[in-house]
Amino acid sequence: MSLSDKVVVVTGASGGVGRAVVRQLGEQGAIVALIARGEAGLAGAAVDVGVGGGMAKVYAADVADHEQVRQAAQRIEAEIGPIDVWINVAFTTVFAPFMEISPEEFERTTQVSYLGFVWGTRAALEVMRPRDRGVIVQAGSALAYRAIPLQSAYCGAKHAIRGFTESVRTELIAAGSGVKITMVQLPALNTPQFGWGLTRLRRHPQPVPPIYQPEVAAQAVLFAAEHPERKEFWVGATTAATILAQRVAPGLLDRYLGRTGVKAQQVEGKPPSGVSNLWEPADDEEDHGAHGAFDERSHPRSVQVWLSQHRGVVTAAAAGVGAAALLRLRRR
């Protein structure tokens, strides 16, 4: 499915992965509905879409509030047309040991980072199911399979999204629905998350290296929207390695992350930014864009993404190599 002239909704559109997604949607000529809280970030995202050649309209909403999300969906349908694709990206987080996160902070993180996906999915299904068509894409994480220290709220949300999405997918299959839902498991990314997530760490939070640019994630998210028959997509070699290692040796990973995970998520000698978007948007007055503070250490592409997108060709090539090797052995 080409996304040109399609109506695509993106939550968390003002920054990070969501911002990279809407920019690429603009370049494809999509009609993009931007959902987020920050006014400056949303305005910048709308400009990005227009510059790329698409059309954008802003719908300010807090995804933790079901009614705000439902009303946004209704307005989108009335003002720019039937929704073809809904992409859930919005989240927030807290960087701290679990017992240093207040119940209110944990609940808020869960409301945004988990229930935000639930309410987005519900709003999308309400308009898509009667038409028997549409695509929902969930921006996930390797942390949906393998949790790490200092991010209990975020990891819990990503695990929950995976379970929720699997349940909804099976219900759609049972109903014979033409609506598709898929999930993209992402690696460590250079997004503003690490500068505006609430933190109680002494040092500035960082993604666990290797780090990828958000455009790598955006490319995979849009590929998933165009090929929603796949259950999920893995982005980055580290995501694939993490998920596979979790299947084989979860206890070993527990011990390894217990020894290394805390230090690996902090920048030596750099204090936290002091900014937090947990309760209020961090990009209400200043547009932070798609990238975080780790451009010099981030990879602009991933071979694994290409392999995932062309797995039929890769499988056929591997089979061909295997057959040729077997033939040589038989001739000896």
The residues carrying an active-site annotation are 154
Residues 246 and 254: their CA atoms lie apart, in Å, by 9
What three-state secondary structure class fits 32? strand
Say what the alpha-carbon torsion angle 152, 158, 162, 165 is, to the nearest 10 degrees.
Answer: 130
What three-state secondary structure class fits 286? coil
The H or E element that residue 85 is part of is: strand 85-88
Q: Are strands 204-205 and 266-267 parallel, antiparallel or unpaired?
A: antiparallel
Q: Do residues 235 and 308 lie in contact, with contact meaning Cβ atoms separated by under 8 Å?
A: yes
Residues 309 and 312: their CA atoms lie apart, in Å, by 8
Q: Do residues 13 and 21 lie in contact, with contact meaning Cβ atoms separated by under 8 Å?
A: yes
Within a 10 A sphere around the Cβ of 307, how many other Cβ atoms? Answer: 14
The H or E element that residue 211 is part of is: strand 211-212
CA atoms within 13 A on the CB side of 66: 7
Helix axes 39-52, 16-27, angle to 10 degrees: 30
DSSP 115: I
Write out the DSSP string of 153-196.
HHHHHHHHHHHHHHHHHHHHHHTT-SEEEEEEE---B-STHHHH
Residues in a beta bridge with 31: 7, 55
Closest CA to 86 of 113, 58, 114, 120: 120
